[in-house]
């Protein structure tokens, strides 16, 4: 089994072990099937809000959620659940109608809209259980990113931040920007996921700003610059949930619809990895370990500075986006090649 590598800074500012949550998008296993697999492995008991959403509470890791990953569909189901009729007869009819519509939505979208398994923040020691969950989902014929052209399913990782110092967050983002071309190659990021904008690359102007040697903003400046260049959730490394935690009022420039979808948390929202649940060779640990590579580069200040300067020079070359030179250089630096 592929081991989960340890973070270079495994503890937070309170000297407690850092945790990380995971999100898996998949089809092929229905809501009840996902919920029961989780309960079998982690304990707890599933409860169903409707046929599109379940919670597994009292597990040995915390509360898991399984939900159909379609905001408008879930909104409709919730609204139907909340409706109240004016007579007893109407109540009976509306209850039946709610059940039928909720079931129909679930069945009609099962092959196109993924269910999303959302874990609680988990300790490093619990990560091996996630591989067991992956194995069980694979055995249950779950389908992931590569199972169909329109799938575009991802696995999101939400690592707790090592500190709330802006310089630490800046350097981890810097490391990600430097490694982005290499990660895209080595992780074999699905073309459909890139086309559909869920994990859009950061704009070139923002990359150059971030990697400038003298870029040392305070939290206010860092957030302002980020939002000016990235007024969207669609980034492979999404910092908006972290900003909502650090500065709750900082997201006012965003559209109301986007703000409502952002959950404040002291964590990165790393949306890059595929969810290759149907691939018997795929391991969650592999993609976790690439995140560890990002943090390892961020913690090596000398190497980070050198690679930032080299990448800025590379970006000045004509047609640099079509060149594999930086991927090859990163491979040389890290000692193993892209798949």
Residue 106: is its pLDDT beyond 70? no
Taking a C-beta distance cutoff of 8 angstroms, is the pair 17, 11 a contact?
Answer: yes
- pLDDT-based confidence at residue 103 (cuts at 50, 70, 90): low
Instruction: Establish if 58 belongs to a structural domain.
Output: no
Instruction: Establish if 258 belongs to a structural domain.
Output: yes
Instruction: Establish if 266 belongs to a structural domain.
Output: yes
Q: Which of 126-140, 151-165, 315-329 has the least mean pLDDT?
A: 315-329
Instruction: Establish if 173 belongs to a structural domain.
Output: yes
* Averaged pLDDT, 61-82: 68
**What pLDDT, on the 0 to 100 scale, is given for residue 84?**
43
**What pLDDT, on the 0 to 100 scale, is given for residue 108?**
47
pLDDT digits (tens, 9 = 90+) for 146-185: 776 555 789 999 999 999 999 999 999 999 999 999 999 9
Taking a C-beta distance cutoff of 8 angstroms, is the pair 59, 42 a contact?
Answer: yes
**What pLDDT, on the 0 to 100 scale, is given for residue 189?**
82
% residues pLDDT > 70 (the chain) = 82
pLDDT digits (tens, 9 = 90+) for 107-119: 544 555 788 999 9
The DSSP-derived string for 250-289 is TTTTS-HHHHTT----SB-EE--SB--TT-TT--HHHHHH
% residues pLDDT > 90 (the chain) = 66
For the record, the structure tokens of 109 come out as 């979208």
Residue 304: is its pLDDT beyond 50? yes
Taking a C-beta distance cutoff of 8 angstroms, is the pair 153, 144 a contact?
Answer: yes
Instruction: Establish if 291 belongs to a structural domain.
Output: yes
Residue 102: is its pLDDT beyond 70? no
pLDDT digits (tens, 9 = 90+) for 210-265: 999 999 999 999 999 999 999 998 899 999 999 999 999 899 888 787 788 899 99
Residue 71: is its pLDDT beyond 70? no
**What pLDDT, on the 0 to 100 scale, is given for residue 242?**
97
Q: Which of 11-15, 34-38, 199-203 has the least mean pLDDT?
A: 199-203
**What pLDDT, on the 0 to 100 scale, is given for residue 151?**
57
Instruction: Establish if 97 belongs to a structural domain.
Output: no
Instruction: Establish if 232 belongs to a structural domain.
Output: yes
- pLDDT, mean over the chain: 86
* Averaged pLDDT, 287-315: 96
Give the structural domain span for 294. 163-271+282-339
Instruction: Establish if 77 belongs to a structural domain.
Output: no
- Phi, psi (5° rounding) for residue 250? -80, -10
Q: Tell me which DSSP letter residue 110 carries.
A: T
For the chain, what is the domain count?
1
């Amino acid at each position: 089994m592929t081991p989960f590598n340890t973070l270079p800074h495994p503890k937070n500012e309170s000297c407690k072990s850092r945790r990380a949550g995971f999100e898996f998008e998949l089809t092929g296993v229905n809501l009840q099937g996902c919920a029961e697999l989780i309960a079998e492995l982690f304990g707890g008991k599933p409860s169903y809000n409707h046929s599109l959403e379940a919670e597994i509470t009292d597990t040995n890791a915390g509360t898991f959620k399984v939900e159909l990953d379609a905001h408008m569909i879930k909104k409709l189901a919730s609204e139907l659940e909340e409706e109240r009729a004016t007579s007893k007869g109407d109540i009976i009819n509306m209850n039946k109608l709610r059940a039928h519509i909720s079931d129909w939505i679930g069945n009609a979208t099962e092959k196109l809209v993924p269910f999303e398994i959302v874990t609680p923040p988990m300790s490093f020691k619990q990560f091996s259980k996630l591989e067991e969950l992956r194995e069980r989902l694979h055995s249950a014929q779950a389908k992931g990113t590569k199972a169909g052209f329109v799938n575009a399913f991802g696995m999101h990782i939400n690592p707790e931040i090592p500190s709330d110092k802006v310089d630490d967050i800046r350097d981890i983002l810097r490391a990600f920007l430097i490694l982005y071309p290499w990660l895209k190659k080595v992780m074999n990021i699905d073309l459909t996921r890139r086309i559909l904008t869920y994990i859009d690359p950061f704009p070139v102007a923002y990359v150059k700003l971030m990697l400038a040697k003298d870029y040392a903003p305070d939290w206010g400046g860092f957030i302002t610059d980020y939002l000016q260049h990235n007024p969207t959730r669609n980034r492979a490394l999404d910092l908006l949930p972290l900003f909502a935690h650090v500065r709750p009022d900082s997201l006012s420039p965003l559209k109301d619809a986007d703000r409502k979808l952002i959950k404040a948390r002291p964590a990165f929202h790393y949306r890059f990895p595929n969810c290759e649940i149907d691939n018997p060779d795929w391991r969650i640990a592999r993609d976790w370990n690439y995140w560890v590579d990002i943090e390892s580069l961020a913690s090596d200040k000398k190497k980070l500075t050198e690679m930032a300067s080299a990448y800025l020079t590379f970006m000045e070359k004509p047609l640099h986006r079509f060149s594999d030179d930086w991927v090859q250089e990163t491979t040389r630096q890290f000692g193993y090649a892209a798949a």
